[in-house]
Chain A
Amino acid sequence: MDDLWHGLAQAFWLVVRFDPALVEIAARSLQVTLSALFFACLIAMPLAAFLAVRRFRYRRTVIAVLNALMGLPPVVVGLIVYVFLSRAGPFGVLGLLFTPTAMIIAQVIIIVPLIASIAHQSLRELWHHYHDLLISMNVTQFQKVTTLLWDARRALLTAALAGFGRAIGEVGAIMIVGGNIDHATRVLTTAIALETGKGEFAFALALGFILIALAILVNLSIHWVGKTEREGQW
């Protein structure tokens, strides 16, 4: 219990002093995770809408695979990305290993199935509701997708936030492909793992509290942004 109180106190002082090392890794955490979230949404949302409106042969298989991939262990994703980005791997020449870009790639792979699955759930419901109307209006496949994505945007926000939550707290994959290099690829979660390894539980906890606070802050601000363009409750 002592560690918990010390952790809280340290977290408080780190924030109050605006500790430069802390600011650096917290900013990098946000940079990596928000970038990953952005690209993941770009892939997952249209994919989810496509799966909702389009009937094709292996649709159920694709959905089942997506659902299964939600539980993919990040370490496995990290290893796979490592193998591809390693100097000895197919994309080695790009020199991306142990950079924030590599971490973003790994996180995108981890959260795309999650975002796509959650988004698909709500888009499928909305599509069920809209189906007859849109068919009678003779909309194109593209118009279907954009209409669904726009009208389900609040539900999609939830999907995105779930993705954010998984990405910001992820450590297994980015430890492998990022390397936890000080001043280059160290983020909150890998720093926490490092401090835990050193037995510095209080400091690790302090970082943990800051991570939680950051996640809450991002959630609140995204909800707030969503509210500014609210047209009503539905």
Chain B
Amino acid sequence: MIRELTLTLAAILVAGAAQAADVMRMAVTTSFHNSGLAEKLLPEIAADLDLEVQLLVVGTGQALKLGRQGDVDAILVHARAAEEKFLAEGFGTHRREIMYNDFVVIGPKADPAGVSGAKTAAEALTMIAGAKADFVSRGDDSGTHKKELSLWKTAGQDAGSFGDWYKAVGAGMGASLNAACGMNGYIVSDRASWLNFGNKGDLALLFAGDPVLFNQYAFIPVNPSVHAHAKNDLAMKLEGWLTSPKAAQIINDYKINGEGLFVFNAK
């Protein structure tokens, strides 16, 4: 019986080792993955380049960490300041802008703070703070979290001094949306995650459109002179594809419930 068990195990182990032609790893943010765009792009990449791109779906902070450690070959994130620091420290070769989507303010349909009447994002947040309405923050040092903090700053508010109504949950976009839904509070989300979110409950999109809410995604290959094993050639191939007219069409045409999510802007 033990022999049979061992054989079965060996068979299972061997079966797990099957692989594709070229494989590279890219760390992407949760918000990008939640948009569902990856499921459109990856099969095309596999078909055109014979390249399997393995996605590590993590927060921006962890994505940058994985790049620093050389555990991925490229990163696709949206946190400009952090990206530039990453480049300045020499961990990436360069930064290539690919596309942008935008952030939106989500909140209870009843909108107790009256956010839907705001003219700017800063005004919307000021209203929430004024009403001390429940607000869920990612609180996980992600790109979205950083964006939210910068918006508070623009609004002249200090997020560190908020009271009980400001809830930093320390979780990914989806989990944070779940939390917001649970307490029927306000939250800043990227549009893609919101549209794809399955548990909307009593929440609705209340504010969008301020250019300050635009969310630029950039592609950064990991520097092979720091991490020699980083597959820079594959990363460059991928970058070529991501900035191609074909990618532009797929990205611009991607819609959820009839709404476009991303705007291709690679130069």
- Which residues of A does B touch, CB under 8 Å? 27-28, 30-31, 34-35, 38, 86-89, 92, 95, 97-98, 100, 179-184, 194, 196-202, 225, 228-229
Contact = CB atoms under 8 A, between A and B. Distances in A.
B16 A181 contact: no
B244 interface: no
B57 A31 contact: no
A2 to B, nearest CB: 11
Interface string B62-80: 0000001111000000000
A31 B173 CA distance: 30
B229 interface: yes
Interface string B30-59: 100010000000000000000010111110
Interface residues of B, number: 35
A63 to B, nearest CB: 27
B199 A30 contact: no
Nearest to A190: B57
Given A87-B227, A88-B70, A34 B54 contact: no
Contact of B174 (A30, A38, A199): A199
Q: What are the nearest 3 A-B pairs in CB distance? A: A197-B174, A199-B199, A87-B70
B265 interface: no
A28 B18 CA distance: 12
Nearest to B33: A194
B172 interface: yes
Given A86-B69, A100-B16, A196-B174, A180 B196 contact: no
Contacts of A194: 57
A229 B229 contact: no
Contacts of A202: 198
B70 A92 contact: yes
A100 B16 CA distance: 8
Nearest to A38: B9
Contacts of A97: 71
A88 B226 CA distance: 10
B21 interface: no
B214 to A, nearest CB: 23
Nearest to A92: B70
Contacts of A197: 30, 34, 172-175, 178
B16 A200 contact: no
